C-alpha cells in the first residue's frame, strides 16, 4: 500500500493527479538509483583529482618546508641556535681534553653560561640564573636537581679561589649539562 493510498483508505478515491505525481517520483528515484553508482564513482575521481592538484601545488610552492621553518622559528630559541650551542660545546670538550684545572673550571662555567642563555631565550624571567632555575620543575627538565648542584659548583668555582675538582667530577657535571641541552633539542644524542 502506498502512502497516498493510506491517506485515502476511508473510501475516498485517490485523486488522479496524486497517482501521476507518485508515478513521476518513482520514475525519478529509479532513474537516480540507476546512475547513483556512476555518480559516486565520478565524485570520487573528481575528489581524488582535486586532492592531487592541491598536493602538487603545495609541493611546488615548498609550502611544507616554509611551514616547518616557520614552526621551528616560532618554537625554537631565537637567540640560541643549535649551531651556536654545538660550536660552544665543541670548545667545552676541547677544554676537558686538556685536563688542566683552569680549563676544566672554564668548561663548567661555559656550560652554565650557555644554559643560562637558553633559559633566557626560552622566556624564563629573573635577575640571576638561580632565579630562572627556580621556575623549572623536573617535568620541564628531567635532571633539574643535578643542574642545580652543577650551578652551585659553578658558583663555588667563581667565588672560591682555591676550589678544585677532579676530572671525573667535571666530566659528570658536564654530562648533566649535556643532558639538559639535549632535552632542549640543542644537542643531538
pLDDT score of 15: 53
Quote the CA–CA distance of 168 and 148 in Å, as a whole number.
18
Provide, for the chain, the percentages of residues in helix, strand and coil under a 3-state DSSP scheme, each rounded to the nearest 5. Answer: 75, 0, 25
Nearest to 107 by CA among 119, 96, 121, 98: 96
pLDDT band at 78 (very low <50, low <70, confident <90, very high): very low
Question: For cell 592531487, what's the residue?
Answer: 52
pLDDT score of 77: 47
Helix and strand element counts for the chain (H, E): 8, 0
Higher-pLDDT residue of 65 and 163 is: 163
Domains delineated in the chain: 3-74 (no CATH), 78-183 (1.20.120)
pLDDT band at 123 (very low <50, low <70, confident <90, very high): confident
State the greatest distance between any 2 C-alpha atoms of the chain, in Å, as a whole number. Answer: 116
pLDDT score of 113: 93
Quote the distance between the C-alpha of residue 30 and its chain's center: 52
Nearest to 118 by CA among 172, 158, 78, 176: 78
Q: What is the mean pLDDT of residues 151-157?
A: 95
Show the cell assigned to 164.
678544585
Amino acid at each position: 500500500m502506498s502512502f497516498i493510498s493510506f491517506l485515502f483508505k476511508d473510501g475516498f478515491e485517490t485523486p488522479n493527479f496524486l497517482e501521476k505525481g507518485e508515478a513521476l517520483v518513482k520514475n525519478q528515484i529509479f532513474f537516480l538509483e540507476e546512475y547513483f553508482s556512476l555518480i559516486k564513482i565520478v565524485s570520487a575521481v573528481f575528489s581524488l583529482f582535486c586532492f592531487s592538484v592541491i598536493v602538487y601545488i603545495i609541493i611546488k610552492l615548498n609550502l611544507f618546508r616554509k611551514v616547518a621553518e616557520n614552526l621551528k622559528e616560532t618554537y625554537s630559541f631565537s637567540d640560541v641556535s643549535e649551531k651556536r650551542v654545538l660550536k660552544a660545546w665543541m670548545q667545552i670538550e676541547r677544554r676537558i681534553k686538556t685536563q688542566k684545572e683552569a680549563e676544566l673550571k672554564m668548561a663548567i662555567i661555559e656550560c652554565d653560561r650557555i644554559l643560562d642563555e637558553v633559559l633566557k631565550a626560552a622566556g624564563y624571567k629573573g635577575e640571576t640564573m638561580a632565579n630562572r632555575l627556580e621556575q623549572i620543575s623536573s617535568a620541564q627538565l628531567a635532571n633539574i636537581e643535578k643542574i642545580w648542584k652543577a650551578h652551585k659548583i659553578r658558583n663555588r668555582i667563581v667565588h672560591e679561589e682555591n676550589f678544585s675538582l677532579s676530572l671525573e667530577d667535571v666530566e659528570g657535571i658536564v654530562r648533566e649539562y649535556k643532558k639538559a641541552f639535549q632535552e632542549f633539542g640543542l644537542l643531538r644524542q
